[in-house]
Amino acid sequence: MNWFRYISKFLLVALMLPSYGVLSAGKPVTQTIIAFCVPQSDVYPFSFTRNGVLTGINPDIIEQIFTETRFPNVTIDFVKRPWKRCNADLESGEVDMMIGGYDVDRKRVVYPSNLGFELNDTVVSNAEVCFSTIAGRQKQKTRLGMQGKTSFLVGIEAGFSKKHSPSIEPQWLVLFNPIEKYRMLEKGRVDAIVQVCAMDGLYPIETKAESKGFTNFETLYPPYLSNPAYIIFSEKFANTYQVLVKKIIVEAQNIDKAMLYERYKPSD
């Protein structure tokens, strides 16, 4: 007998069999793989690479939700895409899930409100956005601008929300290089910049400028904008796994976000 041919044929048949998890009461348990889309470029503090490892508030939230005890037969596959591609792939069903704000222009996606939940009850995180400035003329003008007494020039990263109270009138300078807005502030070319400064209204976090070593910036409270984020599913995934998606939404409300945000608090 040609043992090599026999073993090769056995291995080929084994590879063609469907993949199952451990047996439970004599029945195979399938493993569900969820493609979760994260931005390809660093979007601090939500998703970024540190020492070659994906980290950030959004991956942390997902890892807390999908623990072995909550979802023993689910595996998360973090898929990196440009942010616009994440949205497009979610709409087409190429990816299954992401975290993002509510956008009426998104098509063929499923928010918690589409599944019978109150949207306000399913906020998975709430980013607080502050103006940061430098002591002196820039701070004085920014303070006056925040009081609605004058216009002021604000450096903002492309793609960052410009929503604000109608009582203030910032002029926006859109910059495509994230580091450029810090340099513009240092050089006095803008009065302020925008940064995520806290989460959920309670937990101050280290701003990106601080994490990059800029020590002369001052963050001005209160935040001028709160951006709630939700878990969003593709229609394809939500229709296929109706029970699972509802469980994900429920379990997302039970994670310990205080412990999570502790990792991103400002240095003493």
Distance of CA 182 to CAs 130, 140, 156, 223, Å?
A: 14, 18, 10, 19
Domain 127-227 classified CATH 3.40.190.10?
Answer: yes
The pLDDT tens digits for 3-40 are: 434 434 433 333 333 443 444 445 566 899 999 999 99
CB 74, CB 32: distance < 8 Å: yes
User: 126: which DSSP letter?
Assistant: E
pLDDT score of 268: 66
Q: Any idea which architecture 16-124+229-264 has in CATH?
A: 3-Layer(aba) Sandwich (3.40)
More confident residue, 167 or 14: 167
The pLDDT tens digits for 96-143 are: 999 999 988 888 999 999 999 999 999 999 999 999 999 999 999 999
Q: Please say if the pLDDT value at position 231 is more than 50.
A: yes
**125-133/192-199 β-pairing:** antiparallel
H-type alpha helices, 17-146: 57-65, 83-92, 137-146
CA–CA distance, 64 with 59 (Å, rounded to integer): 9
What average pLDDT does this structure show over 64-77?
95
CA–CA distance, 248 with 212 (Å, rounded to integer): 34
CB 129, CB 197: distance < 8 Å: yes
Span(s) in the chain for CATH 3.40.190.10? 16-124+229-264, 127-227
